[in-house]
Structure 1
Amino acid sequence: MLTAAPRLLLVHAHPDDESLTTGGTIARYAAAGVQVTVVTCTLGEEGEVIPPSLAGLVAAESDQLGGYRVGELRAACAALGVSDHRYLGGMGRWRDSGMVGTAAAAGVPRDLHPRAFAAGDPDEQADQLAQVIAEVAPQVVITYGAEGGYGHPDHIRVHDITTAAVSGAPDVVRVFHAVNSGAALAEGVEALRGFDGLPWRLPGADDLPTTDDSLITTVVDVADHLPAKVRALRAHATQVSVWRGDGGEQAYSLSNAIALPVLDREHYVLAKGPAGAAADLFAGLVPAGAGANR
């Protein structure tokens, strides 16, 4: 059982990752009085841009997207109630690596930027993160699984350095990997079928990386915090489009124009620490009535 106030730290690769995969969780625990710290490792400089009016921001043009996304991330964190946001090594220390070296970038050779996160020294990066962990002293840490969710080299590096950084952190009791539930995603996509006006195509069988539900250990109910999550998604307007149907149905899409449901649950795999209740990251760690259990 914790003797200090509950503290949650999330490590993400790019601006928008915090909202896409963990936005509801952040909003839920922040609203419950938990100190929530988000660490973002790059400015997302290599992202694509959805609004045509902002297309000139991309790396191949003015290369100003990273600075623009700082403002988007600030607005998203405010929507979610984040009390403490940090950039790994300081703002701009590490640059988005893009999809270099992955199947998605096959046939498009490109040298990595000198500050590319995936090309940086992992020991240096892990040490930078360990310093944040030592200062914040979180009991629960969230990041990605070993595959980085969908194979992005920056997500994989985030997993690697977080795993290294928490290994010597005495305050960290549990580590979770944020994942997509195959069953929940299929259910959400099915619910979108037949809605008039959905501006994007529904995903095919191979479009979305998911985790077998038998491996998922914790399902966080974020239904009461979907308005905050949707506001955060809307804040990332260069990367995310949000749709609301006449009946209140909600979906979003990235630049690939594939419709994704806004789910009322977020899913995790316990990677380190004692098992707890299947619906609370802090279960068994916080006294009844304390922040995380509200």
Structure 2
Amino acid sequence: MTTPSSLPSLLAVCAHPDDEALLAGGVLARHAAAGARTAVVTATWSPDSHRTAELADSLRILGAGEPRMLGYADAGIPESAPGRARLLDAPLDEAVGSVVRHLRTARPDVVVTHDAYGQLTGHPDHVHTHRVTLLAAHAAGLEHLYPEAGAPWRPRAVYLATHPHAGVGELGPFLARVGKKVLSVPDEQVTAAVDVRPWLRQKWDAVLAHRSEVARERSLPGILARLPADARDRILSTEYYTRLDINPVPGGLTGLTT
């Protein structure tokens, strides 16, 4: 007999292979270890690319099932999905409908995605994945939107992976050194700071599964791989999120309220 998990089921919607490990690897591993259903949708790269094979290894380590690919091209790498539009250029209604289909199939309690900045580095694919996911999380619960995508399902909440100003720490200077942006939010906008040290080995192994990115010096996996282990562990040991409630508030109001 299976005991229900005390943690909610979770679907992460990420821009690229490796984002799942970097932005939510600890949370995914934590929920999977507790018996919660977990899954990951990845917006870019072709399902038959080398990066999808690396993603499959990462998801296996994290206990998050098989890759679920939207198959769009990366903003700066057209060959990532030959013959497909870049995520940034795809019709918005099409991209939202694709995520709605995964939400209605996986039926998660919680959705995790990038924050409005696209996290620290502001990658345009991260920013657009944020927009698409928020629209999809709302649309998935409305029966007359995307009826072909399955029965309606409304997650309880969306969590935006982010960094508070106080949580950037050592990572900021490393990113700035290679010319990357450092975009963080005011500390009070962070509603969950998750200590993932018990799952840090899994998280780091999942990052290492993205071998082609680890080999690149300017990628975040590559930067982290070249740091001393203690500094890397400090950077990866806490995951920060801002919660958005998407369910309606109780009825009975006779006017607008805050």
Report the CA distance between 1:11 and its aligned residue: 0.3
Deviations 1:217-276 (A, max 9, x none): 01112110000011011111221332474xx51529xxxxxxxx53311000012248xx
Question: Counterpart of 1:238 in 2: which secondary structure?
Answer: helix
Is the 1:8–1:141 contact (alpha carbons within 8 Å) kept by the matching residues of 2? yes
Residue of structure 2 equivalent to 1:95: 73
Is the 1:42–1:87 contact (alpha carbons within 8 Å) kept by the matching residues of 2? yes
- Of residues 162-171 and 221-230 in structure 1, the stretch that sits farther from structure 2 once superposed is 162-171
- Decide whether aligned partners of structure 1 residues 120 and 189 sit closer, same or farther in structure 2, where only a CA change above 3 A counts: closer
TM-score, normalised on structure 1? 0.65
Q: Which runs of 5+ in 2 are unaligned?
A: 142-152, 215-221, 248-258
Question: Counterpart of 2:100 in 1: which secondary structure?
Answer: helix
Residue of structure 2 equivalent to 1:180: 163
Question: Counterpart of 2:184 in 1: which secondary structure?
Answer: coil
Residue of structure 1 equivalent to 2:238: 265
Stretches (4+) displaced over 4 A: 2-5, 203-207
- Decide whether aligned partners of structure 1 residues 85 and 5 sit closer, same or farther in structure 2, where only a CA change above 3 A counts: farther
Is the 2:194–2:239 contact (alpha carbons within 8 Å) kept by the matching residues of 1? yes
Is the 1:15–1:44 contact (alpha carbons within 8 Å) kept by the matching residues of 2? no
Residue type at the aligned position of 2:166: A
Q: Which runs of 5+ in 1 are unaligned?
A: 46-65, 101-112, 191-200, 253-260, 275-294
Report the CA distance between 1:82 and its aligned residue: 1.0
* Residue 210 (str. 1) matches residue 180 (str. 2): no
Identical columns (%): 30
Question: Counterpart of 1:251 in 2: which secondary structure?
Answer: helix
Report the CA distance between 1:121 and its aligned residue: 0.5
Greater relative contact order (Cα < 8 A, sep 6+) = 1
- Decide whether aligned partners of structure 1 residues 238 and 136 sit closer, same or farther in structure 2, where only a CA change above 3 A counts: same
Residue of structure 2 equivalent to 1:154: 125
Is the 2:10–2:108 contact (alpha carbons within 8 Å) kept by the matching residues of 1? yes
Question: Counterpart of 1:15 in 2: which secondary structure?
Answer: coil
Report the CA distance between 1:76 and its aligned residue: 0.9
Is the 1:122–1:157 contact (alpha carbons within 8 Å) kept by the matching residues of 2? no
- Decide whether aligned partners of structure 1 residues 44 and 262 sit closer, same or farther in structure 2, where only a CA change above 3 A counts: farther
Aligned residues: 217
Is the 2:9–2:31 contact (alpha carbons within 8 Å) kept by the matching residues of 1? no
Residue of structure 1 equivalent to 2:232: 251
CA RMSD of aligned residues (A): 3.1
In 2, Cα distance between equivalents of 1:163 and 1:17: 17
